Amino acid sequence: MVLATPPPVTHRTAEENLGLGYLAAFLRQAGHEVVVIDGWLEGIDVPTLARRIMDIRPGMVGFACYRSNMERAIETMGRLSEAGLEILTVAGGYGPTFHTNDFLEAGFSAVVRGEGEVPLRMLADHLRDGTPALDEIPGISHRRPDGTVRHSPVPAPKLALDQLPHPSRDTLHLTLARRSMVHVQTARGCQASCTFCSIVAFERVGGGATWRQRSVTDVVDELEALWGRGATHVKVIDDSLIEPPRDARWCTELADEIAHRGIKPRMRGSIRADRVTEEVVGELARAGFFSFSCGIENFAQSALRRMAKRADVAQNRRALDIFRTHGIYVQAGHILFDDKTSLEELEENYTGMRAYSWTVSKGIFTEMYAAAGTNFTRRLERQGVLQIDRDHLGNTRYDVLEERVRPLYRGLKQWHKAHSAIYDKAIDPLSAPKALDAGELALMHGFAKELRGTDLDFFRSLLDLAAGPCSTAALDGAVQELIRAELAGTADWYRDLDARVDLGYREVGLVYDADANPFLC
């Protein structure tokens, strides 16, 4: 069988799909022959991906999909059908789990909802041996011969992670060649309940615990094997690395085991601010972590309450202070706007952003994504404020309610759209991140800090305008006038910075080949 993932529509550069590696290893363990095609890492388009699959002529194709590549997966499947390739086609991942009917209506044979190892292996067994029957496979939706659709009421089982074989590394050479970081997963899920997040929604599809972990020994076994194959930089892709019962003692155990093996991986992970302590970060730094993604989200307590964030503003600030003490690069996730954002909250966010302008940011404009399956989207639906149209990534529109905030929302979005290309390119080596040494990271970080400073200057100008005597009716026009003046006044500066970023890419040997940012629409 073929396991494939089409390239997504994204402003990020390619990284490996660890899900394909886990599925391939699990299927091979059961005696199935598997070919992995990672369209993102290989840089191939939909027609090429379809031709590759047709040349192999498999009995079954499984597509790993999330929201930003599901349209391309559907297009690939359509090309296979047009070519007369009558095979079992399966889709799994976040996209198919929350948009099951889209895939079945497009002609896929089956959709896996939730974790894929067991259902996919049972589908492969069904194809090879005739058993089990499709109706007996948990966690799938499929179209029967009579045209009816059956959604299995039994969820896909969640296996103990130490029972899974280590993922196959068919694409490791491609990852290393791009100086991308090799992916490792030490846990699945998250124990938080943020209103905007799909992670817990996905975990609840399978029932049971929303977070589970591997043992330290098993994790370091994998790190050691990768180290032996030349993988020195590792991105730990856990949604949340330090969840209970993990604590500072667990971090010490990890650091000690890595030191005992004589390896020195450079690692990046994701951690919640309320789980950050001096002891935790100190031990993780000793283990080799040099970078973290941390969902700060907001510097206004009222906004954090709406998001159901576990951390408060004081914990957010304390976490960032601890990271800086240890020299950790931090991509500080931020959500500036939702439907209830106020001017007071924008002021609080400006103050927080300015105080921590050294953090890596995706830009001054961010908004809460109304994704399928999230509590935020369900609330908007109950209140009847969702607009009918959706963009091609499935984001449902909603209005910012406060009239005096709307012009600033539109203005900041317009400002960021004008600079998104340079922004995305400048931060990609830090946010992906790439396998760079300390000097190379510092070079790229300098560009990111310059961009952040200019963004914050513009943000301050907008806030001053909104706080002034300008009437609400005239505010939108005044904002637009300010934007025109600032865009004209900073054009040369942005062109110069763009040239310097390109030079930086050449110096560190990277290539930026991502798409335009699809989320700014």
Distance (Å, rounded) from C-alpha 90 to C-alpha 70? 12
Q: Which of 317, 347, 355 is nearest to 452 (CA)?
A: 355
Task: Find, among 42, 229, 213, 34, the residue nearest to 127 by Cα.
Answer: 34
In contact, 88 and 127? CB cutoff 8 Å: yes
C-alpha atoms less than 13 angstroms from C-alpha of 187 in its C-beta half-sphere = 23
Task: Answer whether 302's CB lies under 8 Å from 312's CB.
Answer: no
Q: How far apart are alpha carbons 89 and 261 in whole angstroms?
A: 43
**DSSP label at residue 358:** T
Q: Which residues are CB-neighbours of 359 under 8 A, at least 6 positions away?
A: 296, 320, 330, 331, 332, 452
Number of H helices, E strands in the chain: 19, 14
Distances (CA, A) of 458 to 38, 452, 473, 497: 40, 10, 21, 17
Q: What is the spatial distance between Cα 460 and Cα 331, in angstroms, rounded to a whole number?
A: 22
CA gap 434, 505 in Å, rounded: 11
Q: Is residue 250 part of a domain?
A: no
Residue pair 263/232 in contact by the 8 Å Cβ criterion = no
Judging by DSSP bridges, how do beta strands 182-184 and 329-334 pair with one another? unpaired
| Predicted local confidence at residue 399, as pLDDT | 82
Task: Answer yes or no: is 335 within a domain.
Answer: no
| Contact yes or no for 10/515 (Cβ under 8 A) | yes
C-alpha–C-alpha distance, residues 362 and 334, integer Å? 8
Say if 178 falls within a structural domain: no
Q: Which residues contact 173 (CB under 8 A, 6 or more apart)?
A: none
Residue 511 lies in a domain: no
State which residues of the chain have pLDDT below 70.
Answer: 385-396, 521
List Cβ neighbours of 423 (8 Å cut-off, separation of 6 or more).
362, 363, 416, 451
Is 90 inside a domain boundary? yes
CATH number of the domain bearing residue 29: 3.40.50.2300
Other C-beta atoms closer than 10 Å to the C-beta of 390 total 13
b/e sequence 267-303, b meaning 16+ C-beta within 10 Å: bbbbbbbbbbbeebbbbbbbbbbbbbbbbbbbbbeeb
Question: Residue 381's pLDDT is what?
Answer: 79
Cβ-count burial of 35 within 10 angstroms (0-12 exposed, 13-18 middle, 19+ buried)? middle
pLDDT at res. 389: 47
First to last CA, the chain: 38
Query: Based on the structure, what is the number of domains in the chain?
Result: 1
Residue 499 covered by a domain: no
Residue 323 lies in a domain: no
**pLDDT at site 211:** 94
Q: 401 in a domain, yes or no? A: no
Q: What are the tens digits of pLDDT across the range 47-76?
A: 999 999 999 999 999 999 988 899 999 999
State the pairing for strand pair 2-5/35-38: parallel
**Assigned token pair, 348:** 């609080």
- Run of H or E residues at 53: helix 46-56
Contact 94, 55 (CB under 8 A): no
Residue 352: predicted pLDDT = 98
- Upper half-sphere CA count for residue 17 (Cβ side, 13 Å): 24
Question: How many angstroms separate the CA atoms of 238 and 203, rounded?
Answer: 13
- Domain range holding 21? 2-151
Q: What are phi and psi of 390, to 5 degrees?
A: -130, 150
